[in-house]
């Protein structure tokens, strides 16, 4: 278990466990009969759940990427000149995935609920005959790998290539859903890097890049 | 254009230095026929000609630094002139703008001074390194040839002449002159009899085989110079990228590397002066979304009867824009009619049965709460279900007591 995953033992009858994860405050209260009342609260909204858990079970908390494709509305307008490439990062909120099971590692295989932050909105889009649901987030375009303020956000490395013969102005960037995995890179949650290439023949191509290498400190 | 030529010259001299280092480090000791005075003089001329592009590149770099410095200075002068023009306007601008401009001006002046000091230091360091390398090469060639070679002209630039190491070079040659003479006598059969005047046999044998110390020293000097030039090129490239990009806006509480307030003041000033006009910019259309779920969202209508629908409408509108369960597109809407507030929002079809009753319960709790309090409490749905109306809409109603 690292920065993005954590497992806590479920409280026994009469016990109350309070913990914070991903901007959420979780209050677990054990009840007689094996049930656990879970109250998740982010300061504005609350979610109440009643869990039927096994004996000696654990509650797994995993911070993952959102399920739907991301439409990132940039706070700055990007202008890509012809034949240029630009590397940067955008931020997006993390989703807290709840899992429950017996043992330390079995909890991740029984995910049952996800807590979306208030900044992660969902929209129905119909553009050019293609329709679907996307998550809409707002983010600055960071030129450096800068860690978010808290653990409730992750970075998406972007490699933008403009192979067109004209400048390209961008107000937002659509990112395909390439899995929910988020890794810890240089101390902050980071998603799989994406390469976006605009070409005249093939339009927009989006590819996944390899994960950045993690630097390990030797003592 | 001057910058490109300078970069080209630097790259060319980098390649030349690399070839020279590889040749010096990898070759065997020079054959006797190759160390004659004539051959050494030719080698010295070749070395001087090889270093000539380096000199030109350094001069161009210095010229470009001066141009950058002058450009920043002109920018600072323009900001100062703008500040004076702002102060002389008939309607005095806000003091915040003036103070922001003054702060920006001071920051620019400080940057100019720092850049000037840094460029001077870099230039002195590079000239010192080149002089040291030149003197070492001179000593090496004199040791090979056994006679003093013409001293090359010191490297100069537009700003001045850097420190030289001629005295160090002369002293070193004097201490090693005997061994050098012997080496030249053995290696060169055409040497004059006067060359045999000094030196003993052990020194001759030691000097006849070139010691690896000189090769290592020469290679180290060249390597240091090469590494310095590569690092300098990378740093200049990074500075150029940083200057060409604008730092993104940060959220509250984070360090702001770019003073947006000052930038806004400068923009407002330039707009007022007529130098900058807002022109419509063509923006590319948004990228098409990827298909995920083919079912279109369903509109949900919920009506709340309330004695103050207008006040409740503001609260509900704020709440609708902050709840992630409700789709932001199509946007939710509210309509007041008499004492009824009609709330219309959209949900995915698969979430209608699970989320709509909870959202309605939250709206009901919101309607029953005091309207003058901010929306800072948790709204937990109690699971009360609504009723489905005809058609695609999911509607229900509740009456406030």
The confidence score (pLDDT) of residue B143 equals 67
Which range, of A40-49, B125-134, B232-241, averages the lowest pLDDT?
B232-241
Give the highest mean pLDDT range of A172-186, B61-75, B173-187, B384-398: A172-186
Distance from CA of A104 to the nearest CA of B (A): 30
Retrieve residue A216's tokens.
Answer: 């390990």
**What's the angle, vertex CA B164, arms to CA B160 and CA B165, rounded to 5?**
175
Q: What is the mean pLDDT of residues B256-265?
A: 38
Which range, of A175-184, B183-192, B238-247, averages the lowest pLDDT?
B183-192
Asked if B286 lies within 8 A of A174 by C-beta distance, the reply is: yes
Helix (H) or strand (E) holding B38: helix B37-87
B288 to chain A: which residues are within 8 Å by CB? 125, 127-128, 130, 174
| 3-class secondary structure, B116 | helix
Question: How many cross-chain Cβ pairs, A to B, lie less than 8 Å apart?
Answer: 120
Q: What is the mean pLDDT of chain B?
A: 62
The confidence score (pLDDT) of residue A87 equals 93
B250, B324, B327: residue with CB nearest A120: B324
The answer, for B282 touching chain A at a CB cutoff of 8 Å, is yes
**B 325-344 residues with CB < 8 A to A:** 325, 327-330
State the complex-level ipTM.
Answer: 0.81
The confidence score (pLDDT) of residue A162 equals 92
B375 to chain A: which residues are within 8 Å by CB? 44
Distance from CA of B305 to the nearest CA of A (A): 24
pTM over 0.90: no
Interface test with B, best of A125, A150, A208 (most B CBs within 10 A): A125
Bridge partners, residue A114, by sequence: A97
Helix (H) or strand (E) holding A71: strand A70-80
As a whole number of angstroms, the distance between CA B31 and CA A215 comes to 50
Asked if the model's pLDDT at residue B278 lies above 50, the reply is no
More confident residue, B247 or A140: A140
Q: Side by side, which strands form the sheet with A57-64?
A: A5-9, A57-64, A95-102, A111-115
Distance from CA of B248 to the nearest CA of A (A): 6
**A 102-161 residues with CB < 8 A to B:** 116-125, 127-128, 130-134, 136, 140-143, 149
Asked if B329 lies within 8 A of A45 by C-beta distance, the reply is: no
A48, A117, A169: residue with CB nearest B324: A117
The confidence score (pLDDT) of residue A81 equals 93
Q: What is the pLDDT along chain A (219 residues), one digit of tens a residue?
A: 455 778 888 888 889 999 988 889 999 999 888 789 999 998 878 888 998 887 778 888 888 899 888 999 999 999 999 999 999 999 999 999 888 877 655 444 578 888 988 888 999 988 767 788 889 999 999 998 888 766 689 999 999 999 998 999 999 998 887 778 888 888 888 898 999 999 887 778 787 777 766 555 443
As a whole number of angstroms, the distance between CA A107 and CA A10 comes to 11
């Amino acid at each position: 278990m690292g920065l993005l995953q954590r497992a806590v033992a479920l409280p026994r009858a009469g016990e109350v466990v309070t913990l914070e994860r991903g901007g959420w405050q979780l209050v677990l209260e054990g009840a007689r009969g094996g049930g656990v009342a879970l109250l998740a609260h982010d300061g504005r909204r609350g979610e109440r759940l009643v869990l039927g858990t096994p004996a000696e079970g654990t509650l797994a908390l995993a911070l993952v990427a959102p399920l739907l494709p991301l439409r990132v509305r940039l706070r700055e307008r990007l202008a890509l000149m012809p034949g240029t490439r630009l590397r940067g990062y955008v931020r997006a909120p993390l989703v807290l995935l709840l899992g429950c099971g017996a043992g330390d590692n079995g909890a991740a295989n029984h995910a049952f609920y996800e807590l979306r932050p208030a900044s992660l909105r969902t929209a129905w889009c119909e553009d050019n005959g293609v329709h679907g649901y996307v998550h809409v987030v707002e983010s600055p375009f960071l030129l450096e790998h800068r860690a978010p303020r808290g653990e409730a956000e992750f970075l998406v490395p972007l490699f933008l290539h403009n192979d067109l013969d004209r400048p390209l102005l961008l107000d937002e960037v659509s990112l395909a859903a390439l899995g929910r995995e988020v890794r810890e890179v240089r101390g902050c949650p980071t998603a799989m890097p994406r390469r976006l290439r605009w070409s005249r023949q093939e339009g927009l191509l989006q590819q996944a890049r390899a994960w950045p290498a993690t630097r390990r400190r030797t003592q | 254009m001057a910058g490109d030529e300078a970069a080209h010259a630097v790259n060319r001299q980098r390649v030349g230095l690399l070839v020279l280092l590889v040749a010096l480090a990898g070759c065997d000791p020079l054959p006797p026929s190759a160390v004659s005075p004539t051959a050494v003089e030719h080698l010295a001329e070749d070395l001087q000609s090889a270093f000539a592009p380096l000199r030109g590149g350094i001069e161009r770099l210095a010229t470009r630094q001066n141009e950058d410095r002058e450009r920043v200075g002109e920018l600072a002068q323009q900001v100062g002139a703008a500040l004076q023009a702002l102060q002389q306007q008939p309607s005095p601008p806000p003091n915040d703008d003036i103070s922001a401009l003054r702060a920006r001006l001071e920051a620019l002046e400080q940057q100019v001074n720092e850049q000037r000091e840094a460029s001077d230091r870099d230039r002195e360091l590079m000239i010192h390194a080149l002089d040291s390398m030149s003197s070492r090469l001179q000593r090496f060639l004199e040791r090979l040839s056994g006679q003093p070679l013409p001293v090359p002209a010191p490297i100069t630039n537009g700003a001045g002449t850097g420190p030289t190491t001629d005295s160090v070079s002369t002293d070193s040659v004097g201490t090693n002159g005997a061994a050098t003479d012997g080496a030249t006598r053995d290696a060169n059969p055409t040497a004059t009899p006067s060359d045999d005047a000094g030196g003993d046999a052990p020194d001759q044998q030691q000097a006849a085989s070139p010691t690896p110390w000189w090769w290592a020293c020469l290679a180290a000097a060249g390597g240091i110079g090469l590494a310095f030039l590569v690092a300098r090129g990378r740093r200049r490239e990074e500075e150029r990228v940083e200057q060409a990009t604008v730092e993104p806006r940060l959220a509250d509480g984070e360090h702001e590397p770019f003073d947006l307030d000052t930038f806004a003041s400068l923009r407002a000033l330039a707009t007022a002066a007529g130098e900058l006009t807002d022109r419509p910019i063509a923006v590319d259309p948004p990228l098409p979304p990827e298909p995920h779920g083919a079912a279109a969202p369903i509109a949900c209508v919920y009506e709340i009867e309330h004695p103050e629908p207008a006040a409740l409408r503001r609260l509900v509108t704020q709440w609708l824009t902050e709840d992630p369960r409700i789709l932001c597109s199509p946007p939710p809407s509210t309509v007041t009619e008499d004492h009824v507030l009609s709330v219309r929002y959209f949900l995915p079809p698969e979430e209608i049965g699970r989320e709509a009753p909870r959202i309605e319960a939250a709206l009901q709790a919101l309607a029953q709460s005091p309207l003058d309090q901010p929306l800072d409490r948790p709204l937990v749905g109690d699971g009360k279900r609504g009723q489905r109306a005809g058609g695609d809409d999911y509607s229900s109603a509740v009456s406030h007591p």
